[in-house]
A and B are shown apart, each in its own frame.
Chain A
């Protein structure tokens, strides 16, 4: 099946879901979500069955949609991340519906008791299509439109609980800062176009490698683009929006933001910075920018996470911290390989980043699933609510234990290998000592704040009046078990993820 059918299926699925909500009488609107989960699972399996065209010459479509031999595996891998995240987010949304409906439907005014629920399942599907396009965008135009399609969907989803002040505040903050960052992105793209005369990434790379390239202007373009993409992936000093937006957004959307949106931001960052790494003069300076960004992000994300008392906010800072590790992989200069042989996957930034994001997906989504279940029982996401979780629900406590241990990087979990490969790449490629030091400080601080959560779950007594068992629906339970198995499996055999890229 041609690879571009995947996105078409996803968009059509979104349209069908919108129509189904309007024209089919459903007792339980969750059925729409289950239908989407089913179709998306099929799409996920189809990822392994796609075919690529023999020749892409002259077709206006393939100018915008990547079909290069070397990057096919990565395109598919990042599409897989998008689809998998969407599936889990939909299951999480079905679990979250109680909280959501409290702030969307208003039965006193005669609203349908499930008003606004089905769109909450539909919009992530459209975002998923945008993310999939972004994963194979190879032209500034297609990068920009797919990035915007995703971002605008997120503006809506973040502000979705419109009767909740926190959600609205998060939505407004995200909208204003996001629009600002988009402005920087477009301005950077125009400069890049002005310098190279093309919007095609391969063409840009060629032009930037020439001696006649205008280095100052190219660096200015890069600086503008890095401001915008740094905002998208949550790199310091552009990370200010993350804690507030993550805390205010509905929990499934926070999960979506922190996994899929970050993954998509990183693939665009990889593609664009790849153009600059082609030439010696530019690559040195661009590499230095990434080193500074990585150090700042690692230190800020990890140290600011230490005093947090709200679990969602803690995960927001943790997401900044992980962006720091990913930037660390990006900052380690790419090993130049002689005689045109492809370097082993784990010696390249993109291989390590793909692995890290795959592992990050598993552990982060697991944590958010637990958070969704707990949030159904209490008013907010404060860490106090997790005290004594082991007594209230041993299963949830165990899931969170695995997720936290993996996020911290305990051996035998997926997170360990993620961090291990990042450090290995950095040391192997002779990254600067400050960067590695920041990484070590970050990883150590991570142990403290992730284990704070674990300690509170197992050693503290539950709060008065909030100590009943926590119900978890069947689909969520199944997904959690699968994620736990995957975390351990990848933690023991890391080739599981790498095998998918080939």
Chain B
């Protein structure tokens, strides 16, 4: 199992690097799908089937299709011609390096990875069932707030993108 984890983690990381390195936005988008697939596999390995499937359905599926639609509206040729500026590369390396360094240091010092977290109870309900029940019982209040959030977002999207009403 650990062996599989390394493969999928490598896929996710390589996909992530691809998003940044490819100049063609379509290639970037496909690299992102690759990264999402790697992540989904890791979730499934952790027995979080629902999260894994949602990762594929929602992120790799719906959201990426949207991305590609938007990319089609852009001028791909122009994007390809762009070169990375030296300052931007230095800045990105500093930020990403610093963040990764901090993360590695915290993980080394805090020994978080050394203990095994107890497994979820066996033979209970499926995780879809569990998550659904939690969302609509314990977490009903945050769900309501998200309802308001989605309403506002819908109104906003229409406002900012509509044609004039006659």
1/0 per position for A43-56, CB-CB distance to B under 8 A? 00000000000000
Which B residues are CB-close (under 8 A) to A146? 145
Least Cβ distance of B129 to chain A in Å?
18
Least Cβ distance of A38 to chain B in Å?
22
Of B4-12, B17-25, B49-57, B102-110, which stretch is located at the interface? B102-110
1/0 per position for B98-120, CB-CB distance to A under 8 A? 00001101100110100000000
Q: Do A60 and B152 contact each other (CB < 8 Å), given the known contacts A110-B164, A216-B106?
A: no
- Contact indicator A159/B149 (Cβ below 8 Å): no
- Contact indicator A122/B155 (Cβ below 8 Å): yes
| Bound-complex Cα distance A123 to B152 (A) | 7
- Contact indicator B159/A63 (Cβ below 8 Å): no
Least Cβ distance of A87 to chain B in Å?
19
| Bound-complex Cα distance A292 to B127 (A) | 45
- Contact indicator B156/A65 (Cβ below 8 Å): no
Which A residues are CB-close (under 8 A) to B68? none
Q: Does A217 contact B (CB under 8 A)?
A: yes
Least Cβ distance of B88 to chain A in Å?
15
Of B26-34, B58-66, B79-87, B133-141, which stretch is located at the interface? B133-141
- Contact indicator B110/A111 (Cβ below 8 Å): no
Least Cβ distance of A289 to chain B in Å?
14
- Contact indicator A115/B164 (Cβ below 8 Å): yes
Which B residues are CB-close (under 8 A) to A223? 102
Contact-residue bracket for chain B: 20 to 34
Q: Does A99 contact B (CB under 8 A)?
A: no
- Contact indicator B149/A152 (Cβ below 8 Å): yes
- Contact indicator B148/A106 (Cβ below 8 Å): no
Least Cβ distance of B17 to chain A in Å?
18
Least Cβ distance of A104 to chain B in Å?
8
- Contact indicator A142/B166 (Cβ below 8 Å): no
**Pick from B141, B146, B163, B166: contact of A65, CB under 8 Å:** B141
Which B residues are CB-close (under 8 A) to A11? 148
Residues in B144-166 with C-beta less than 8 Å from chain A = 145-146, 148-149, 151-153, 155-156, 159-160, 163-166
| Bound-complex Cα distance A148 to B143 (A) | 12
- Identify the closest chain B residue to A159 (Cβ): B160
| Bound-complex Cα distance A220 to B105 (A) | 10
- Contact indicator B110/A217 (Cβ below 8 Å): yes
- Contact indicator A152/B142 (Cβ below 8 Å): no
- Contact indicator B155/A152 (Cβ below 8 Å): no
- Contact indicator A126/B148 (Cβ below 8 Å): yes
| Bound-complex Cα distance A61 to B140 (A) | 8
Which A residues are CB-close (under 8 A) to B148? 11, 126, 129-130, 149
Q: Does A269 contact B (CB under 8 A)?
A: no
Residues in A130-160 with C-beta less than 8 Å from chain B = 130, 133, 141-142, 144-146, 148-149, 152-153, 155-156, 159-160
Least Cβ distance of A174 to chain B in Å?
13
| Bound-complex Cα distance A65 to B145 (A) | 12
- Contact indicator B145/A145 (Cβ below 8 Å): yes
Least Cβ distance of B80 to chain A in Å?
22
**Pick from A106, A122, A130, A217: contact of B164, CB under 8 Å:** A106
**Pick from A60, A112, A123, A127: contact of B140, CB under 8 Å:** A60
Q: Does A57 contact B (CB under 8 A)?
A: no
- Contact indicator A152/B112 (Cβ below 8 Å): no
| Bound-complex Cα distance A153 to B160 (A) | 12
- Contact indicator B164/A220 (Cβ below 8 Å): no
Which B residues are CB-close (under 8 A) to A214? 110, 112
- Contact indicator A142/B141 (Cβ below 8 Å): yes
- Contact indicator B139/A60 (Cβ below 8 Å): yes
- Contact indicator B156/A142 (Cβ below 8 Å): no
Least Cβ distance of A245 to chain B in Å?
16
| Bound-complex Cα distance A64 to B146 (A) | 14
| Bound-complex Cα distance A61 to B105 (A) | 39
- Contact indicator A141/B164 (Cβ below 8 Å): no
| Bound-complex Cα distance A343 to B146 (A) | 38
**Pick from B138, B146, B159: contact of A116, CB under 8 Å:** B159
Q: Do A111 and B149 contact each other (CB < 8 Å), given the known contacts A141-B139, A217-B112?
A: no
- Contact indicator A155/B137 (Cβ below 8 Å): no
Least Cβ distance of B23 to chain A in Å?
20
Q: Do A123 and B110 contact each other (CB < 8 Å), given the known contacts A130-B148, A148-B149, A149-B148?
A: no
Least Cβ distance of A271 to chain B in Å?
16
Which A residues are CB-close (under 8 A) to B153? 152, 156
| Bound-complex Cα distance A8 to B102 (A) | 43
- Contact indicator B155/A18 (Cβ below 8 Å): yes
| Bound-complex Cα distance A214 to B106 (A) | 10
Least Cβ distance of B109 to chain A in Å?
5
| Bound-complex Cα distance A486 to B22 (A) | 58
Q: A65-B141, A148-B149, A220-B106 are in contact. List 20 more A-B contacts (CB 8 A).
A: A60-B141, A61-B141, A64-B141, A109-B163, A112-B165, A115-B164, A116-B159, A119-B155, A126-B152, A127-B152, A142-B141, A145-B142, A145-B146, A149-B152, A153-B152, A153-B156, A156-B156, A194-B112, A216-B105, A216-B109
Closest 10 CB pairs of A and B: A156-B156, A111-B164, A149-B149, A217-B110, A109-B164, A145-B145, A220-B106, A216-B109, A145-B142, A216-B110
User: Mind listing 28 A-B residue pairs with CB under 8 Å?
Assistant: A11-B148, A60-B139, A61-B140, A63-B141, A64-B141, A109-B163, A110-B166, A119-B155, A126-B151, A126-B152, A129-B148, A130-B145, A130-B148, A144-B142, A149-B145, A152-B149, A152-B153, A152-B156, A155-B156, A156-B152, A156-B159, A156-B160, A160-B160, A194-B112, A214-B110, A216-B106, A217-B112, A220-B110
Hey, which bits of chain B sit against chain A, CB under 8 A?
A: 102-103, 105-106, 109-110, 112, 137-142, 145-146, 148-149, 151-153, 155-156, 159-160, 163-166
